[in-house]
Each structure stands twice: as structure tokens, then as C-alpha cells.
Amino acid sequence: MQARMTIEDIDKEFFFHPFTHVREHERVGPLTIVEGHGSTLTDTRGRAYLDAMAGLWCVNIGYGNAEMAETLRDQTERLAYYHTFASMGNEPVARLAQRLIAMAPGSMSKVFFGNSGSDANDTQVKLVWYYNNVLGRPEKKKIISRDRGYHGVTVMSGSLCGLPNMHAGFDLPLPMVHFVRAPHRLWEAEPGQSEEEFVQGLADELERLILAEGPDTVAAFIAEPVQAAGGVIVPPKSYFPAIQEVLRKYDVLLIADEVVCGFGRLGQNFGSEVFGMTPDLITVAKGITSAYIPLSACLVSESVWDVIASGSDKYGVFSHGYTYSAHPLAAAAAMTNLDIIERDGLIPQAKARGERLAERLRAEFGDHPLVGEVRGDGLLGAVEFVRSTDPLTAFDPALKVAPAVVRRSRELGVISRALPAADTIAFSPPFVVTEAEIDEMAAVARRALDDVA
Ligand code: PLP
């Protein structure tokens, strides 16, 4: 019986998909991808798609890179695995840690490795708690996150998400997580408010929350430089400096979640550099290996590290880490990925392609009556749909335009992504995307909108 099943039948029968509507999947089945080269994916029927999302904002060097294959094979033959508990080390991971510290903004000191953005953000919270316990401040444990933030799916990192769909059915968020508004001018600014007033309002809101909770209970604030999954929300340039002024006043640490922005997506190595952030802790994943193999990391600043290091006097062994922490295959892949990005000038290229993307999205959607905003930064772009621009009115959630546009785009050969928090389609192509491919991604999205709305 099983021999006659197609791969789609087998998938439907046995595979529990992440982030998938179970009943819909039972009805329509999977789109099974079998190959990827550059920015192009191919399915089981031989149909090609342009991947406008680099997978999930991550395949930055593009698919099918032969140097990555060679590195993974060589490292597998040399040392496929050894753990790093109890002072055990491996060569690629020591070199990668050194390289990340040299690249990182601010005064970062140490790197802790994990396997996903989710577990890395989870680790960050444990580091923050440990830090305050070492300092003898057991009450200082609450974490502030933002509406529309996306930080992962573990019990803690899911709690840090400011997206209602991430909590529904899972008994999240945990009670020590609190939220402030996102810096999304389209919906959050008062009519006629200047950028300065808008930013001041957000900084004041943060300060009010810290005071209401008690500064002695608030440990950290977590933020993506540009909120990706929450809608590609680009903050005003003055936003993070204003936020950090408040954080410093109350001795609250800043965790920069660079899982999407890190390693060039915004045209510089880190989004923190683009937005004037001086984080105490930085989370990276995705682009660190361009997703050729899972890897994440927590970068820890000197001042935080000094406290954590002194924790061994109080707690003995630092009892945290994963079997796959600092996996040599992943570290070797990251080194080659970073070599390729540097050697091939992929960060300036991402910036240039990002400008093209912004221009094409503005040209295709800028004056459309159902478009509330075209926005982006670096090689991240988004189009947000609204029922009306004057007065600004969202579509009813059941009537969202973005999912229909994305479905139709896929039929037309381009994979983009509908973001659930906003009626928004996102574009985050590989850095190796060509100008012609960018033009096609934008043109297909516009054709799809014309077909569905
Ligand atoms: N943080 C951000 C900003 C992300 O966009 C994501 C994933 O999209 C995560 C964390 C979680 O990463 P992972 O899916 O690798 O657990």
C-alpha cells in the first residue's frame, strides 16, 4: 500500500507540520520542494518558484552553494561531532566565537551556542536571571517585550512574542513577560504626531510600565531591530536611543534579537548598528549559516559576562547547554558562510538589491487604494493592505488580503509570505537575488493583488 503512496500522501498521513492549519493541510496537502539553486526552488512536479523569502528569512547566500556542501562534507569526515560540556572544545567553534566577537557591535565578550533562535532567546532569559541572581537581586526577573515582536516558540521565547496567535491554545505568555507598543507609525501614531513626539510617547510608555511594575523587578527588554514576522516594522531612527535611555535609567538590560537582521539583511553586519542600539546581549541564528544547518548564538557583553563568570563562585558549574551546543559542523558551515558573504560582497549587494526592492514595491503598490504602506529596510520589504486609507481602516481579520495575494503569487511562481499580525506580505529574498528576479517578485505580487482584490 505504502509503495503506491505519493510523497504528498505520505506527508499528509505522517508529518505533523509546524505553523500549519491542520484541517486545511488535510484538504490541500503539501507543496513539496525537492531542489533549490540561487533564489529558485523546484517542487516534485518540476515546477520552479522564485523564493522571495529566502526560506524563512534565512537562506541569505542562496540555495545549492557548492562551497557549503564541501565544508559540511570535509568537517563530517574530520570531526562530525563532539560535545563542548565540561571544557571540551572543537576548532571551528573557537574560531567562530572569535570571529563573531570581532564582528559584533559594542563590547561583546563571549559567545554561547545553541540550535535555533527560539532556544537562544530562551538562553538569554536564563542568562539575565542568572546575572541578577549572582548580583543578589532575585526579584529583578521580569522581561519586557513588544507587541508584534517574534522571538520563537519555546515556553519562554513564545511568551516573548507579542503576537496573539503565538499564545492561543498554549497557555502563554508566562506572567513575568510584559508588553509595550510596537514602533509602527501607521497604526500607533496619533494623527499629526511628529516622529519625535511618537518616539517620546513610546519611551514614556516603557518608563511608565517599568515604574508600575517596579524597577527592581524588571530585568530586560527584548527587541528585534526591525520586527520581521510582526509586519516588517521599521522603527524611527531615534527610537532605540530613546528606549535605551529609559533602560539605562532603571538598570534594565537590552537583548537585541538579531535572528533575522544579523549578518547583513539590513545592509550592515548587525541591525543594532543600523538603529543605534548598544545591546547587552545579542541573539543570532538563521543567517549565521544561511540555514544550511541549524545554529544560533547568544553574544554576551563584557559587563554581563563579568557577572556570569563570577557566578561559578556561588553556583559552581554553569549548568546550561545543549547536546548540540557549539556543534562543529554548524560552526564550520558558519565560517564558510561568513567567508562567502565577505568575499562576494554580499552585504553591499543586499543593500543595493534592497533599494531596488523598495523602488519596485513602491512602483507596483505605492498608489493602490488598498495599500496602507509600503515599507522596508535593507533587503526586507513589505506591503500592508487596508480596507481604506482615508480614514485608515483595516480589513476585517476574516477578509485579509495578504493570504490571498500570497496564494495567488505562488500559483504565478513566486513564494512570498503573509504575516499574520498585519495584513502584510513580506519579501526577504536571498542576497544573491538578481535585479530581474526582484522585478519579477514585485510584478507578480501586484498581478496577484489585481487577480484577488
Ligand atoms: N527571533 C526572531 C526575530 C525570529 O524571526 C525567529 C524566527 O523567525 C526566531 C527568533 C526564532 O528562531 P527559530 O525559528 O530558529 O527558533
Q: Mutate which of 286, 288, 419 to test ligand 1's pocket (most atoms within 8 Å of Cβ)?
A: 286
Write the CA distances from 156 to 81, 106, 117, 152, 189, integer angstroms: 28, 26, 12, 8, 30
pLDDT at 22: 96
pLDDT at 421: 86
In angstroms, what is the span from residue 151 Cα to ligand 1's centroid? 5
Is this prediction's pTM over 0.80? yes
Please give the domain boundaries of the chain with CATH numbers for all domains: 31-64+345-452 (3.90.1150.10), 68-343 (3.40.640.10)
* Alpha carbon distance 339, 108 (integer Å): 21
DSSP state of 85: S
Angle in degrees, CA 293, 296, 299, rounded to 5: 150
Cell 491554545, located at residue: 169
Nearest protein Cα to ligand 1, atom 12: 117
* Alpha carbon distance 229, 225 (integer Å): 12
In angstroms, what is the span from residue 51 Cα to ligand 1's centroid? 19
* Alpha carbon distance 398, 408 (integer Å): 17
For residues 402-415, average pLDDT: 97
In angstroms, what is the span from residue 18 Cα to ligand 1's centroid? 13
Question: What's the residue count for the chain?
Answer: 453
The runs of H, that is alpha helices, within 189-289 are 195-213, 239-249, 271-274
Position in ligand 1 atom list of the atom nearest CA 152:
11
* Alpha carbon distance 381, 259 (integer Å): 17
CB 221 within 8 A of CB 252: yes
For residues 184-209, average pLDDT: 97
Q: Residue 2 — pLDDT band, cuts 50, 70, 90?
A: low
- pLDDT digit string (tens) for 200-222? 999 999 999 999 999 999 999 99
- pLDDT digit string (tens) for 141-150? 999 999 999 9
Please provide residue 88's backbone torsions phi and psi, each rounded to the nearest 5 degrees.
Answer: -75, 145
- pLDDT digit string (tens) for 231-271? 999 999 999 999 999 999 999 999 999 999 999 999 999 99
For residues 65-77, average pLDDT: 98
pLDDT for residue 335 is more than 70: yes
Judge if the beta carbon of residue 146 lies within 6 A of ligand 1.
no
Beta strands in 181-335 (DSSP E): 218-223, 253-257, 281-284, 296-301
Judge if the beta carbon of residue 210 lies within 6 A of ligand 1.
no
Q: What does pLDDT average to over the chain?
A: 97
Judge if the beta carbon of residue 229 lies within 6 A of ligand 1.
yes
pLDDT for residue 44 is more than 80: yes
Write the CA distances from 184 to 201, 232, 235, 369, 370, integer angstroms: 12, 9, 7, 20, 18
Query: How many percent of the chain have pLDDT more than 70?
Result: 99
pLDDT for residue 451 is more than 90: yes
- Cα within 13 Å of Cα(74), Cβ side: 11
Residues in CB range of 53: below 8 A, 6 or more apart: 415, 416, 417, 426, 427, 428, 429
For residues 54-75, average pLDDT: 98
pLDDT for residue 1 is more than 80: no
ipTM given for this complex: 0.99
pLDDT at 396: 84
In angstroms, what is the span from residue 290 Cα to ligand 1's centroid? 13
In angstroms, what is the span from residue 373 Cα to ligand 1's centroid? 24
Judge if the beta carbon of residue 259 lies within 6 A of ligand 1.
yes
- pLDDT digit string (tens) for 261-311? 999 999 999 999 999 999 999 999 999 999 999 999 999 999 999 999 999
In angstroms, what is the span from residue 216 Cα to ligand 1's centroid? 29
CB 315 within 8 A of CB 397: no
Write the CA distances from 4 to 1, 7, 14, integer angstroms: 6, 10, 15
436 CB-contact burial (10 Å; exposed 0-12 / middle 13-18 / buried 19+): exposed
In angstroms, what is the span from residue 153 Cα to ligand 1's centroid? 8
Judge if the beta carbon of residue 224 lies within 6 A of ligand 1.
yes
Query: What is the enclosing helix (H) or strand (E) of 397?
Result: none
pLDDT at 3: 67
pLDDT at 420: 80
Grid cell listed for 79: 570531526
Judge if the beta carbon of residue 228 lies within 6 A of ligand 1.
yes
Question: What is the arrangement of strands in the sheet containing 218-223, beginning at the earlier edge strand?
Answer: 108-114, 296-301, 281-284, 253-257, 218-223, 142-146, 177-180
Residues in CB range of 40: below 8 A, 6 or more apart: 48, 49, 50, 51, 63
pLDDT for residue 433 is more than 60: yes
367 CB-contact burial (10 Å; exposed 0-12 / middle 13-18 / buried 19+): exposed
Amino acid at 399: L
Q: Mutate which of 119, 145, 260, 298 to test ligand 1's pocket (most atoms within 8 Å of Cβ)?
A: 260
